Amino acid sequence: MNKSSFNRLIIVAYRLPFTLQQSDSGLTLKQNSGGLVSAVLSMAERAGHSTADAAMPIHWVGHAEPVFREIDAAELANSTFVAHPVFLDEAVNRGFYEGFSNNLLWPLFHYFPSYASFQEADFQHYQQANARFLEELAALIQPGDLIWIHDFQLMLLPELVRQALPQCTIGYFFHIPFPNHEMIRLLPRVWRQTLLQGVLGADVVGFHTADYVQHFFQSVAEFTTFPVIDKRVILPNRSVVVSDFAISVDFAKFDSTSQEPAVVETRQQYQTLLRHNQLIFSVDRLDYTKGISYRLQGYELFLIRHPEWHDRVTFVMTVVPSRDKIGHYQELKREIEETVGRINGLFGTIGWRPIVYSYTSLTFTELLALYTACNVALITPVRDGMNLVCKEFIASRHDEQGVLILSELAGAAKELHNALIINPTDTQEVADAIHQSLTMPVQEQRTRMRQMRHHLQNHNVFRWNHDFLQAINQTQQHRPEMETDLSLPAFLRSFSEADRRLLLLDFDGTLAPIVDHPADARPSPALCQALGELAGSSDVVVISGRNRAFLETIFTGIPLYLVAEHGAFLKKPDQAWERLDLTTDNWLEPVRAVMQQYAARTDGTFVEEKETALVWHYRLAKAGDIEVQATQLAATLRGVGSDVPLTVIQGNKVVEVKPARHSKGTVALSLAEQKPYTFIVSIGDDTTDEDMFSQLPNWSYTLKVGAGPSFARYRLAHQRDVETLLQKLSETLVSAS
């Protein structure tokens, strides 16, 4: 497996992969059934075989029953695996797991909205339980760990972890279908927003199929303000990769174990017991999503239509106990048992039972014996995220015999094209497929089986694991070229078609990254080059709060317009500075006195005197309440008496006071009106840039860099995206010439 740049892999899932059972010899660990458990444990087993990874066991954080408290921690760890039990208060667990997870999310996400129960108390328990998982994780995480969170019970956890540990690497995989956004719309607004935002705490979000990815994007578009670009959701300060990763099985393990003597022996016993009849097999957890009732109806119709098969075929149907404390599950169990009884009563004879039904779980050997004994695997869910049973059946068929009948509503149907794909509610289609399977020539069985086996050999659980972890690695190594909700082609076209263009660009946080010491801020050489090229055919204005000398030094030799001190001074290319603001200076003294008091009181802060503004800087201050001080100072300054109106700006680690007559907005507007521009773009990251965004004509392109509310029409995620954007504009000029 590929853990490459990460220290430890920490799996977080609702359950630990074991339950404890009381036996004569005391408490013993028993492996749970279920798709996720099978997939992840096979990863852990294989990891244990390689020396490098053996030193690095997989950690698994999951809920455990109180009886686990009696187990010594040492017993929960071996060379491949360390279990970290999460204990939940019983009432919380009931509301969280049985309530919100199984009575709401599960039915809703499997398109059973009428089974969904919307209870505020359950939502609160869901939040509390996710927070409990965070507590357990927070105590465990070390720098360099990769946290891989699983499934719909923990949708809030990625964002909780992100808030607590912003730098950590988080993957999230969703094992059930992600439905169309109209299902998500059924959730109360706060719930759906909290859930979506919760998931978006991850760096990579994975689903089984491309359809589920599209559905997720639809929901993001409908219920959040975040844009989606190139399989990424763009958040204010980072982005989330969302992609499909089809979970699979340990092909080699099923292939080889199916030939072991114990399996062969059990298979022969079954075949003898069932009089060497043709066998149809199914196994699923008790669940209304698995289409068990429709399956029975399909089989019944087959028996009605094909009496020639009576006595020659047996349907072995195993239902594994699951969630049977919930009402819908109890009803389902009753319905299944009645239908089985009715069909057996109707068609059976003294020597033949058409359906051999059991409500139990099978050992691995029994499971493999049935996968390999049967002629037909009948997998008919009405919704299934993926369905591993059908993949296990194929992987077990070393003999290349047997036919898979598979519902088009299982994720696996997107891959297993050589199955007989049916709609599970169409009982006629199911009956026909059963007949077709039982009469299928061996050669056709072999051709179909071979192709599906070839696919699964290459798309096994290790590939799923590898692809997911690789996607996480890539997010760490390669930042996307650019993150924005702007339609780039339209933007570039509008720029290149315009005959008069105006570019208004803020300096700190826009052209230059924010640095600890303001004097060190510099735009990159590549950005300066792009500005130089653009200035040849456009009016390019750097519009900043910085003083004149600073801007002139930084941009020496580039024919730009420079606007200093938020619009107090303007310098056109090759001309001298003009002072735009003619206000008297008698406001300076009282403002300076207040600022100096703050500077004297708090280490790491100082007052800068510009020609038309006073600025209190606090970037280097360590005081815990420094933002509170900044707000207090701004409030005090707003009350300072002056005979000219003043603007007090609480900006990025600065509080600045200047006469209100000039602002970036007034200057931007007056420049925009000087010529008949047909293209205007303004880009900025700070509150002062909002004046530009709000005053420019509404057809202008206004772009805010980073997070936070804004008047701008578009957003760039990072300062580095400004550089990319300007380079793209200058490339447009080069390719046009």
Rule CB under 6 A: which residues touch ligand GDG?
33-36, 38-39, 175-176, 247, 283, 285, 320, 361-362, 364, 367, 384-389, 392
The catalytic residue positions are 506
Nearer CB in complex with ligand GDG: 361/537: 361
Q: How far is the CB of 567 from ligand GDG (least distance, A)?
A: 58
Of residues 38 and 418, the one with the C-beta less far from ligand GDG: 38
Taking the least distance from each CB to ligand GDG, the nearer of 383 and 662 is 383
> Residue 367 or residue 369: which is nearer to ligand GDG going by CB?
367
Helix (H) or strand (E) holding 456: helix 442-458
Q: Smaller CB distance to ligand GDG: residue 385 or 509?
A: 385
Let me know how many helices (H) and strands (E) the chain has, helices first.
26, 29
Tell me how crowded residue 323 is: count the other CB atoms within 10 A of its CB.
17
Judged by beta carbon, residue 35 or residue 402, the one nearer ligand GDG is: 35
| Smallest distance from ligand GDG to CB 418, Å | 19
DSSP 76: G
Q: Give the nearest distance from C-beta 322 to ligand GDG in angstroms.
A: 8
CB of 136 to ligand GDG, least distance (A): 22
> At its nearest, how many Å lie between ligand GDG and the CB of residue 428?
25
User: Closest distance between ligand GDG and the C-beta of residue 29, in Å?
Assistant: 15
**Residue 412 Cβ vs ligand GDG, minimum distance, rounded to whole Å:** 7
How far from 686 is each of 19, 168, 238, 683, CA to CA, in Å?
54, 27, 18, 10
Question: Residue 94's closest CA among 117, 61, 69, 67?
Answer: 117
Helix (H, G, I), strand (E, B) or coil at 94: helix
Among 614, 619, 620, smallest CA distance to 634 is for 614
**Which of 352/359 has CB closer to ligand GDG?**
359
Q: How far apart are CA 464 and CA 30, in angstroms?
A: 25
- Please tell me the number of Cα atoms within 13 Å of 543 on its side-chain side: 32
Least Å distance between CB 72 and ligand GDG? 27
Residue 573 and residue 629: Cα distance in Å, rounded?
Answer: 40
User: Which residue number places its CB atom closest to ligand GDG?
Assistant: 35
Under 8 Å between Cβ of 541 and 674: no
Instruction: In whole angstroms, give the CA distance from residue 161 to residue 132.
Output: 11
Alpha-carbon distances, residue 585 vs 215, 613, 633, 657, 665 (angstroms): 60, 10, 21, 12, 22
Residue 367 or 696 having the CB closest to ligand GDG: 367
From CA 669, how far away is CA 547, in angstroms rounded?
A: 20
What sign for the dihedral angle of Cα 475, 511, 519, 583? negative
HSE of 281, CA atoms in CB hemisphere, 13 A: 29
User: Could you give the 3-state DSSP secondary structure of residue 564?
Assistant: strand
**CA neighbor of 319 nearest in space, from 277, 346, 281:** 281
User: If you search the block for the tokens 């360590």, which residue do you land on?
Assistant: 622
Are 693 and 684 within 8 A, CB to CB?
Answer: yes
